Amino acid sequence: MLPFDRFALRPHRAAGAFAPASRRGFLKAGALAGAGLVIGAVLPGGRITAAHAADAANPFQGYIVVAPDNSVTVLSAHFEMGQGAYTGIATLVAEELGADWSQMRAEGGAGNTKLYGNLAWGGVMQGTGGSTAMASSFERYRKAGAMARTMLVQAAAQSWNVPAGEIKVEKGVLSHASSKQASFGELAEKAASLTPPGDVALKDRKDWQLIGDATLHRVDHVSKTNGTAQFTLDVKLPNMLYAVVQHPPLFGATVKSVDAAAAKAVKGVVDVVQIPRGVAVLADSTWNAMKGREALKVEWDNSQAETRGTAEIMADYKKLAGGTDAKTARADGDAAKAMAGAAKTVEAAYEFPYLAHAAMEPLDAVAWKHDDVIEVWGGHQMPDLYQAVTAQIAELPPEKVKLHVMMSGGSFGRRAVPDADVIAEAVSTAKAIGWKAPVKLVWTREDDMTGGRYRPMYYHTLKAGLDAQGQIVAWQHRIVGQSILGGTPFEGMVKDGIDATSVEGAANLPYAIPNLTVDLVTTKTGVPVLWWRSVGSTHTAYSTEAFLDELAHEAGKDPIEFRLGLLENHPRHRAVLEKVRDASGWGGELANGRGRGVAVAESFGSFVAQVAEISIQNGAIKVERVVCAVDCGTAINPDVIKAQMEGGIGYGLSAILKGEITLEGGAVQQTNFDGYEVLHMEDMPQIEVHILPSTENPTGVGEPGVPPIGPAIANAVFSVTGKRIRTLPMSKTDLSAT
């Protein structure tokens, strides 16, 4: 979801990041009042502070806390938004620690880049995105668990006066042949007083018991089931006020004047204040704040606003696609020359709409300034940026900003906003009332749906040349759309006019095509955009895989065999394709009126192929079955991987079947789930997920299930109807006559 892995078009590997420079160079431990054993870490050169440097009032600044009550709490460097990060990290720790799974707990680590920097991004920034949580955590948290185990064993050896090598650790119990045994909790305080050892050995892969266990339940399943899991909406502070914001009706509009008299007269309303992003209404409850907002009268200055509709914007994109103002993202061979000499050429154009994230939990944040510090609670997907924004607004140094990273009910990229929108509004509102009370600010569903930060709208043109044998000799691909990185703190990552988030999946196309060009036309549009689950691959996988299917048909070849013939040097692509071919019964008979389609995509370092089986019912697409194969490296939690593939398929289906944000006169037309429809439960297909065994380091899981489903469905529709769907959502295509 985030841009740091974009420019090599694959995640940076974290392996080797923790080669200790000295005996204390990797992990440090300490005892804090009542905390037991706390394990923290430093990078070579001391770039990450030791856990024992935290004060007793704030003990949870480390990786692991082994408490006297025998619980083991993992402090996650990555926030939990339903993707299973807490479970994955707890599994890594428990495996090396030798803990019983029932002991394990997980919480979000506080905002602290020095301690929790994302190693898949080089450790320079704390954040959760790009499907990097396990890549970032794989070595770090296993070593933390091994360090804790080693120190507990040392404590037991000293207490029992036996050699450490004779002590066994299994399911949270240390034991010796002399019948001595103790729990982790009983030895935690003593272990914390010991000098940490040097680097520690990790278990051999063949000895793993928890990593790869498909029966392991999620570490947070009980708290989410019984309601004790804490989200931002659960935060309650003394004298807290509740706020909502009246945002401009058009993107780019600003406040011209405010008449707050009627709003202030609403029962429960405490104040109305103007903030940089609109007008905030504060009350004694969110409901009363919303009622006050309904009575608010705001006059807007629309002179700098985006006033075009999406139809006009798309028309402009089509004109730009035919121009010369494009930047080259990839150029192999001489595509123009090869195209001119091709025996046959094929062309297609694809239209992709704006898409909302539509996470279940509304956007929210709590801000409280007191005692010369400010605390902010929220789904902090990018703590570094949020800390910086908060510090700037509050006029405090960053070290005076304390972020509480809460669990989140979904994000899909929406809570990773470079300008920290809802966080900034909560802090600005608290500042506007003179910091006299904590403020909980909530965006309603309508605020979120109409508030921008969408997956950008795109227009693609593709042209290919085939030789007399049906082989692809030339490929030209042009993408027109907005830059996600432009105008953000990451704008410097745009290289030579190329925002890699716009072209990923196209610029790294794996097929063996000797003459290939991919170029990009970056547009200027007033609609705020943002990364969206699987980012560029949401549109590039569709256009490339749907177009490749057209070429297979033109060449008279089986779509899977056609792809395999172009992937001789890509064994992992081939493996997932071959798996879905065999598991789906590809080529076998189907019930009358059904069809199959296939697609494969690499994203976030993982490889996913899907075969979709569909039927047409009353002119609408009914997805009957999806067979999915995934190679995501080492499978830490197979059940979580399966769930993420299933969820990615469902999320992708919502988008490609019905998802669309439209504007008329600059105003967003969809305000809630009645207008922006997500997949209904009865429309979820039967899904089979096959996880390929691998000894590679873990790669992305949260997003790679999304890209292949769209083109697989499109290709299946063609197999039934003979129609190619090139404009999304698919509901725009009339299939009633088929």
Residues 6+ apart with CB under 8 A from 27: 39, 40, 41, 42, 143, 144, 147, 196, 200
User: Which pLDDT belongs to residue 370?
Assistant: 97
Chain centre distance of CA 689: 20
User: Which pLDDT belongs to residue 53?
Assistant: 29
Interatomic CA distance for residues 175 and 213, integer angstroms: 24
pLDDT at 260 > cutoff 70:
yes
pLDDT band of 197, cuts 50, 70, 90: confident
Helix (H, G, I), strand (E, B) or coil at 546: helix
The pair of structure tokens assigned to 324 is 């010369």
pLDDT at 51 > cutoff 60:
no
The answer, yes or no, to whether the previous bond of 729 is cis (omega within 30 of 0) is: yes
Residues 6+ apart with CB under 8 A from 680: none
User: Which pLDDT belongs to residue 61?
Assistant: 59
Helix (H, G, I), strand (E, B) or coil at 370: strand
User: Which pLDDT belongs to residue 668?
Assistant: 99
Q: What are phi and psi of 660, to 5 degrees?
A: -170, 130
Which of 476, 540, 475, 528 is CA-nearest to residue 502?
Answer: 540
Residues 6+ apart with CB under 8 A from 212: 634, 635, 636, 638
Distances (CA, A) of 612 to 1, 146, 311, 585: 25, 43, 31, 11
pLDDT at 413 > cutoff 90:
yes
Distances (CA, A) of 323 to 326, 453, 521: 8, 27, 9
> Which amino acid is located at 738 in the chain?
T
pLDDT band of 199, cuts 50, 70, 90: confident
662 conformational bin, left if phi > 0, alpha if psi -120 to 50, beta if neither: beta
pLDDT at 17 > cutoff 70:
no
CATH of 35-226, one of 3.30.540.10, 1.20.1440.230, 2.60.130.10, 3.30.365.10: 3.30.365.10
Which of 3, 193, 171 is CA-nearest to residue 72?
Answer: 171
pLDDT tens figures, 518-547: 999 999 999 999 999 999 999 999 999 999
Q: Where are the domains of the chain?
A: 35-226, 233-303+363-442, 310-354+454-732
pLDDT at 13 > cutoff 80:
no
pLDDT tens figures, 94-132: 999 999 999 999 999 888 888 899 999 998 899 999 999
Q: Is 737 exposed, middle or buried (0-12, 13-18, 19+ CB in 10 A)?
A: exposed
Q: What are phi and psi of 99, to 5 degrees?
A: -80, 160
Interatomic CA distance for residues 435 and 237, integer angstroms: 14
Interatomic CA distance for residues 240 and 289, integer angstroms: 13
Residues 6+ apart with CB under 8 A from 211: 91, 92, 95, 634, 636
pLDDT tens figures, 71-84: 999 999 999 999 99
- Maximum CA extent, the chain: 83
Of residues 321 and 26, more confidence is placed in: 321
- C-alpha neighbours within 13 Å on the C-beta side of residue 222: 7
One fold for both 35-226 and 310-354+454-732? yes
CB of 271 closer than 8 Å to CB of 277 = no
Q: How many C-beta atoms lie closer than 10 Å to residue 434's C-beta?
A: 10
pLDDT tens figures, 57-67: 333 458 999 99
CATH of 233-303+363-442, one of 3.30.365.10, 3.30.70.1290, 3.40.1360.10, 3.40.718.10: 3.30.365.10
Which of 503, 496, 530 is CA-nearest to residue 518?
Answer: 503
pLDDT at 249 > cutoff 90:
yes
Count helices and strands in the chain by DSSP H and E runs: 18, 28
Interatomic CA distance for residues 167 and 258, integer angstroms: 72
What average pLDDT is seen over the chain? 92
Helix (H, G, I), strand (E, B) or coil at 56: coil
User: Which pLDDT belongs to residue 34?
Assistant: 52
Of residues 53 and 32, more confidence is placed in: 32
Lowest mean pLDDT among 35-44, 135-144, 214-223, 458-467: 35-44
pLDDT at 310 > cutoff 80:
yes
Interatomic CA distance for residues 447 and 450, integer angstroms: 6
User: Which pLDDT belongs to residue 58?
Assistant: 39
User: Which pLDDT belongs to residue 37?
Assistant: 86
Distances (CA, A) of 113 to 124, 127, 388, 418: 7, 9, 12, 16
Residues 6+ apart with CB under 8 A from 657: 621, 679, 683, 713, 729, 730, 731
pLDDT tens figures, 370-380: 999 999 999 99
- Please list, residue by residue across 351-366, b when 16 or more beta carbons sit within 10 angstroms of its beta carbon and e when fewer do: bbbbbbbbbebbbbbb
User: Which pLDDT belongs to residue 611?
Assistant: 99
CATH of 310-354+454-732, one of 3.30.750.24, 3.40.50.360, 3.30.365.10, 3.90.180.10: 3.30.365.10
Interatomic CA distance for residues 55 and 558, integer angstroms: 65
pLDDT band of 40, cuts 50, 70, 90: confident
- Please list, residue by residue across 379-404, b when 16 or more beta carbons sit within 10 angstroms of its beta carbon and e when fewer do: bbbbbbbbbebbbebbeeeeebbbbb
Interatomic CA distance for residues 704 and 10, integer angstroms: 12
Q: What are phi and psi of 407, to 5 degrees?
A: -65, 155
User: Going by DSSP bridges, is the β-strand pair 327-332/516-523 parallel, antiparallel, or unpaired?
Assistant: antiparallel
- Please list, residue by residue across 583-613, b when 16 or more beta carbons sit within 10 angstroms of its beta carbon and e when fewer do: bbebeeebeeebbbbbbbbbbbbbbbbbbbb
Residue with tokens 């935060």: 235
pTM of the full structure: 0.93
User: Going by DSSP bridges, is the β-strand pair 373-378/401-405 parallel, antiparallel, or unpaired?
Assistant: parallel
The pair of structure tokens assigned to 643 is 């769930």
User: Going by DSSP bridges, is the β-strand pair 344-352/458-466 parallel, antiparallel, or unpaired?
Assistant: antiparallel
Interatomic CA distance for residues 91 and 219, integer angstroms: 9
Alpha helices in 353-417 (DSSP H): 383-394
pLDDT tens figures, 432-488: 999 999 999 999 999 999 999 999 999 999 999 999 999 999 999 999 999 999 999
User: Which pLDDT belongs to residue 463?
Assistant: 99
DSSP state of 110: P
CB of 691 closer than 8 Å to CB of 505 = no
pLDDT band of 41, cuts 50, 70, 90: low
Interatomic CA distance for residues 324 and 517, integer angstroms: 14
User: Which pLDDT belongs to residue 737?
Assistant: 72
Helix (H, G, I), strand (E, B) or coil at 623: strand
Interatomic CA distance for residues 401 and 392, integer angstroms: 10
Interatomic CA distance for residues 39 and 41, integer angstroms: 7
